[in-house]
């Protein structure tokens, strides 16, 4: 898929029950797998053994999973469950009625670096497969993974020319938090009746909006 080199092709169907047969999986999680997913294919394996790439310090393999859906929505908890079961980085290609949505989790090493935890997911719009902004770029697996995340996240992470992926994600979190604080303060201002208090709140709001502009 995605015109990745033939050497990376795996094309193996994975029984979806593999991801929910664990006794720790809740009935709601099992229901989501059964009702929302039709088929899961392991399409590609991107690794030093399948491509002329250097192994990464964090990323040793990137698996490409095609997940065919029964409806155009998939609970994020389902992706997290698959990510928990597979000890590698995963690029998900969700398919519904011929359209595709690329999804990837920003993963960080957990304690001891023996496992990874997903911090957050990024996704594209629903597009034709050929229009997905996902391209194999980089000389190491770390670089390929970072480029996948940036390609899929788009403007959300900025240009990243001089910022690490970790810092870009952290800056996005700060922007989102500031947006929430601004929205909450604007709601308070609309309800405030006392002119003096309202003036003070507007001054604070202007300062926060200035900070927001600087963080863009």
Task: Kindly report, residue by residue over 86-97, the tens digit of the pLDDT.
Answer: 889 999 999 999
- What pLDDT does 53 receive? 94
Highest mean pLDDT among 83-87, 103-107, 113-117: 103-107
C-alpha 163/C-alpha 171 separation (Å) is 10
- What pLDDT does 69 receive? 98
Other CB atoms within a 10 A radius of the CB of residue 208 amount to: 15
Looking only at the bridges linking them, the beta strands covering 37-47 and 61-69 are antiparallel
Query: What percent of the chain clears pLDDT 90, i.e. is strictly above it?
Result: 57
Q: What's the first-to-final CA gap in the chain, in angstroms? A: 34
Q: Check whether 112 has a pLDDT greater than 80.
A: no
CA distances for 196 relative to 11, 12, 93, 107, angstroms = 67, 67, 54, 47
Task: Kindly report, residue by residue over 128-185, the tens digit of the pLDDT.
Answer: 999 999 999 999 999 999 999 999 998 877 655 557 887 777 777 788 888 888 898 9
- What pLDDT does 180 receive? 87
pLDDT (average), residues 95-114: 84
């Amino acid at each position: 898929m995605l015109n990745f080199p033939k050497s990376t092709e795996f094309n193996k169907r994975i029984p979806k029950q593999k991801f929910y047969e664990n006794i720790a999986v809740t009935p709601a999680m099992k229901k989501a797998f059964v009702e929302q997913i039709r088929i899961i294919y392991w399409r590609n394996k991107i690794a030093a053994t399948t491509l002329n790439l250097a192994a990464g310090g964090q990323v040793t393999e990137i698996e490409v999973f095609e997940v065919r859906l029964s409806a155009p929505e998939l609970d994020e908890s389902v992706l997290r469950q698959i990510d928990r079961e597979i000890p590698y980085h995963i690029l998900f290609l969700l398919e519904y009625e011929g359209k595709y949505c690329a999804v990837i989790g920003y993963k960080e090493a957990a304690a001891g670096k023996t496992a990874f935890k997903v911090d957050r997911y990024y996704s594209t719009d629903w597009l034709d497969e050929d229009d997905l902004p996902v391209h194999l770029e980089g000389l190491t697996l770390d670089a390929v993974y970072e480029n996948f995340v940036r390609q899929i996240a788009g403007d959300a992470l900025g240009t990243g020319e001089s910022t690490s992926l970790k810092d870009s994600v952290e800056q996005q979190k700060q922007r989102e938090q500031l947006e929430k604080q601004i929205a909450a303060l604007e709601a308070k201002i609309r309800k405030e009746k006392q002119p003096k208090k309202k003036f003070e709140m507007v001054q604070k709001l202007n300062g926060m909006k200035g900070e927001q502009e600087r963080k863009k």
